[in-house]
Amino acid sequence: MQAIMETAFDAVYLITVLTLGIRMIRQPGAARQFHLFGWMAVVLGAGDAFHLVPRAWALCTTGLENYAVALGLGKAITSVTMTVFYVLLYYVWRQRYRVQGQKSLTGTVYLLAGLRILLCLMPQNRWLEADAPLSWGIYRNIPFALLGLLMIVLFYRSARAQQDRAFRWMWLTIVLSFAFYIPVVLWADVVPMIGMLMIPKTCAYVWTVLIGYTAMKRETP
């Protein structure tokens, strides 16, 4: 039952975000912010596919324990693409609110993203092993969480200051995604049921993409 339900959920998620992303990229006359948003959605879906497709295959065949290498590699790729997702989101913020300059802010974004990717590439993560260390799961997620926190503050302040109703909940989608993700990182290996929090975390990302898609439809002539 878990295999069927989880595989169906993941398939709907991947098809949804990739379809919306491609439609945003190809939308004639859309502002550049929405094309960026489309690429952001495609990066999200394509990156997650590297982990979710092997997971679905494992659940429907001989079990997760027999696919440690494929799942670990997929998780590593997803960790990098999620970082790219937030860098693209930063540029969506700049385009939407017509932000100029702010070199120190841009530098901070790249510093956190670069540190996150560097930590993800370290061999100590032992991605391809079933018993990957929790400590490195925490290390690599510190700059990632800081990057997410920065996006929360930027979107909250800008949407509120400019009374941007279309993006007024963008900050909340990011808050929810991290609120559901962090317990999984910390405790899912000890209490497997906590891994179920990845479902609402995924829904939060779908909400993020829907905010951009809906805004595009309203604002594109």
pTM, two decimal places: 0.93
What are the average pLDDT values for consecutive 10-residue runs of the chain, which has 221 residues? 82 96 94 95 96 87 81 93 97 95 95 97 91 90 96 96 95 96 85 85 96 95 82
Write down the domain spans for the chain.
2-219
Express each pLDDT in 142-175 by its tens digit.
999 999 999 999 999 999 999 999 999 999 999 9
The Cα 217–Cα 221 span in angstroms is 8
| Residue 196 DSSP label | G
Compute the distance between CA of residue 33 and CA of residue 94 in angstroms, rounded to an integer: 8
- The residues, ordered by sequence, that sit 6+ positions from 143 with a Cβ below 8 Å of its Cβ are 112, 113, 115, 116, 119
What residues have CB less than 8 Å from 41, skipping those under 6 apart?
17, 18, 20, 21, 24, 209, 212, 213
pLDDT of residue 190: 77
What pLDDT was estimated at residue 1?
Answer: 67
Burial 162-186 (b: 16+ CB within 10 A, else e): eeeeebebbbbbbbbbbebbbebbe
Position 58 scores a pLDDT of 84
* Cα separation, 98 vs 115, whole angstroms: 27
Distance CA 136, CA 93 (A): 30
Give pLDDT, residue 219: 92
Model confidence pLDDT, tens digit, residues 192-211:
788 888 899 999 999 999 99
Q: Domain 2-219 falls in which CATH fold?
A: Rhopdopsin 7-helix transmembrane proteins (1.20.1070)
